[in-house]
Amino acid sequence: MRVLFGPFCGEIGWELCYWQAHGRWLKKQLPDYEFYVSTFSGHQSFYLDYADRVIAHGEKFIAKFGAVDCYGGTHLEREVYLEYTDKLLKRYDAYFAVTTPQHNGRFYIPRNKMIFKKFKPHPAVSNSLLDLEIDGPIVMLFPRHKGDERDWGEGKWKEFADRLLGAGFRLVIAGIKSQSCLAYYD
């Protein structure tokens, strides 16, 4: 029998920290089932070790609901999400779907229902990183600024970055400029 895992339509951070690891655990519980995973294009590598097929959201879906960025997912109404799921079930002849929960940042999958694995970087990335001459430890920051109560203010992010630099760390600032407090940090 075939299982549809997803479709995943949320933030990449939530997908990395919870969802893909839960799929790996679930596949271990159901080893005789085929797993068809539905997610955004470019996220296939999260699932290749256990998925029988990875389905990228189509252009019509992206055009209607928008692409995802590193902070925000599409904001689908639950009914629309389930309608999309039903279409995928029929198209891929899946027996049932394990859908993403309707969460608002408060839903967590228990750690005993997740299996993580170490992802290997693409060789092109690996080789370019090995060519860098880096002195000291590196810290990566994602100084998000979406304007909600979960965000730190720009001043706190700058103070934190300054302290890290003062302690001898090198910084990598990640995210997208439009939603980052430190987009132009020197």
Average pLDDT of every residue of the chain:
80
Taking CA atoms, 150 is separated from 31, 78, 105, 144, 182, in Å, by 39, 23, 10, 9, 16
In this prediction, residue 71 carries a pLDDT of 41
In this prediction, residue 51 carries a pLDDT of 96
Domain ranges of the chain: 2-113, 127-179
Tell which wins on pLDDT, 125 or 113. 113
Average pLDDT over residues 145-174: 83
CA distance 113 to 95: 22
* Lowest mean pLDDT, pick from 14-18, 34-38, 52-56, 58-62: 58-62
Architecture of the structural domain at 2-113: 3-Layer(aba) Sandwich (3.40)
In this prediction, residue 76 carries a pLDDT of 67
Say whether pLDDT at 176 is over 70.
Answer: no
SS (H, E, C) 106-142: CCCCCHHHCCCCCCCCCHHHHHHHHCCCCCCCEEEEC
65 and 76 Cβ atoms separated by less than 8 Å: yes
To the question of pTM greater than 0.75 for the whole model, the response is no
Average pLDDT over residues 69-80: 60
In this prediction, residue 24 carries a pLDDT of 96
